[in-house]
Amino acid sequence: GIQVEQSPPDLILQEGANSTLRCNFSDSVNNLQWFHQNPWGQLINLFYIPSGTKQNGRLSATTVATERYSLLYISSSQTTDSGVYFCALSPGDNYGQNFVFGPGTRLSVLP
Amino acid sequence: GAVVSQHPSWVICKSGTSVKIECRSLDFQATTMFWYRQFPKQSLMLMATSNEGSKATYEQGVEKDKFLINHASLTLSTLTVTSAHPEDSSFYICSAPHRHTEAFFGQGTRLTVV
């Protein structure tokens, strides 16, 4: 099956710093999403981005499907950005949207 | 975005009892929903696919007799953990795809079996 890697596994930032989180995958995809899991476990949708670039406030994401990677940019980080960031994707032959999740990046933003 | 509601948010039950978790799509219909499980400090793993009007399909290693799934309508799927044991303690979360594109997740249910 498809393999998903995320880097870095852990990241500690000072408030106000910028960061880039990476998601590599081993096969073509028809759906890729980024999520932020808050301390209560809820998954917050950040981006639906099977290809291209999107921006939402301090966050932006880019997926280069032909090179099988996606990036999530966080600018001017805030303590509320702390949590785990997951990329999740559906393989190219599967339109059911049952996701394969990456292992996550655990972000801690210090005041 | 679309809303998926999951209930209860947390539950504590005694070993040997059964627990039912509900997943509802509030503002859209979902012929398919998905159930995931997450153990502490780990990622989410797909357990099963819930199909309206037909049987659920389970991932390898998931006991279908322990985790009963019923997709009762186009907006409701339930997961029942039968004869729960402490090793079933976990975070369970459902999702539903919206218009065959973006998927939305419920709030999750933290199950503790004592």
| Closest chain A CA to residue B57 | A98
Give the one of A33, A42, A95 whose C-beta lies nearest to B107's C-beta. Answer: A42
Predicted local confidence at residue A94, as pLDDT: 58
* Longest CA–CA separation in chain A, Å: 44
Q: Residue-wise pLDDT tens for chain A (111 aa)? A: 889 999 999 999 999 999 999 999 998 888 899 999 998 899 999 999 999 999 999 999 999 999 999 999 999 999 999 999 999 998 766 555 678 999 999 999 999
Q: Which of A41, A60, A44, A50 is nearest to A94 (CA)?
A: A50
* Interface contact B58, partner A, CB < 8 A: no
* Interface contact B105, partner A, CB < 8 A: yes
- Which residues make Cβ contacts (< 8 Å) with residue A54, sequence separation at least 6? A47, A60, A61
Beta strands B109-113 and B10-13: pairing type?
parallel
Sign of the C-alpha dihedral, residues A99, B70, A38, B37?
A: negative
Contacts of A40 in chain B (CB under 8 A): 107-108
Sign of the C-alpha dihedral, residues B41, B24, A100, A49?
A: negative
Residue with tokens 């989410």: B44
Q: Residue-wise pLDDT tens for chain B (114 aa)? A: 789 999 999 999 999 999 999 999 998 998 899 999 999 999 999 999 998 888 999 999 999 999 999 998 999 999 999 999 999 999 999 999 887 778 899 999 999 999
Predicted local confidence at residue A28, as pLDDT: 86
User: What DSSP character marks residue A42?
Assistant: P
Predicted local confidence at residue A2, as pLDDT: 87
Q: Which of B93, B106, B80, B95 is nearest to B30 (CA)?
A: B95
Predicted local confidence at residue B5, as pLDDT: 95
